[in-house]
Amino acid sequence: MCFSPEADLVTGIVVSGIGVDALRRVPHRRFLPLAALPLLLGLHQVIEAFAWWGMRGDLPRQVGDTATWVYLAIALVVVPVSVPAAIRSAESDPGRRGRLLPFVVLGVAVAVALLPGLMNSGAGGEVACRYIAYAAGVPYAGYVLPFYVVATCAPLLLSGSKRLALFGAANVVAVALLGGLLARGVISLWCVWAAASSVVIHLEVRAAARRREQVPARAPG
């Protein structure tokens, strides 16, 4: 979510490029879900640009409505599952993977709870100055939001990677700050944080690839 369609488009293209490069550098298949997150975030931003243009009348309304639906489907159903699952998948320690499993389950529960708004056409959005005001389409969305935040933020804090854990702490502060700005109708800067998140993930994948390259090859026999 960003403050203009142009900002969404530019950020989305840049973040998608970071995601493509991260996927190229994956050292092991367990890193694939993590490396794919920047590409998901980048495409998410590009899709929102079309939602903006449809709501403003720059594109046919049907195009904007479809883009809005897809954007919300990713935000409400895909993200709460894919983020904890990706962080868990990147873990090599079985014990830590086990401790992260409840957050994947929580993310699935959040997605299931928010899915009806998409299925009954209740979810939607409208331009409100420098952001799009979205609605989940279910009356209990406010009660689900804290669980959404826990499912997507807590796994970073519990990651075995020092880089991801430190970023997780910064993420909690950023979510509170950006959420406060949006709730007050000031501006949406989530696209900036999506770009920062993608850079951190890219660095993590590259670091894992370097570690793998430095492991001595096992002698034959």
Beta strand residue intervals within the chain, DSSP E:
124-127, 132-135
Residue 138 belongs to a domain: yes
Residue 193 belongs to a domain: yes
The count of other CB atoms within 10 Å of the CB of residue 101 is 13
Angular region, 173: left φ>0, alpha ψ -120 to 50, beta rest: alpha
Q: What domain count does the chain have?
A: 1
Residue 219 belongs to a domain: no
Residue 208 belongs to a domain: yes
Task: For residue 33, name the pLDDT band (cuts at 50, 70, 90).
Answer: very high
Helical residues (DSSP H) of 120-160, grouped into ranges: 141-157
Highest-confidence segment of 88-92, 171-175, 180-184, 185-189: 88-92
CATH number for the domain spanning 104: value is 1.20.1070
Contact 123, 55 (CB under 8 A): no
CB burial of 154-166 (b: ≥16 within 10 Å; e: otherwise) equals: bbbebbebeebee
Q: Which residue has the tokens 């299931």?
A: 112
Which domain, by its residues, includes 165?
A: 5-213
Residue range 57-101, pLDDT digits in tens: 999 999 999 999 999 999 999 999 999 999 999 998 999 999 999
Enter the pTM of the model: 0.89
The confidence score (pLDDT) of residue 26 equals 92
Residue range 116-156, pLDDT digits in tens: 999 998 889 888 877 888 899 999 999 999 999 999 999 99
Residue 218 belongs to a domain: no
The confidence score (pLDDT) of residue 140 equals 94
Torsion of CA 149, 153, 157, 160, to 10 degrees: 140
Residue range 189-216, pLDDT digits in tens: 777 888 889 999 999 999 988 887 775 5
Strand partners, 99: none
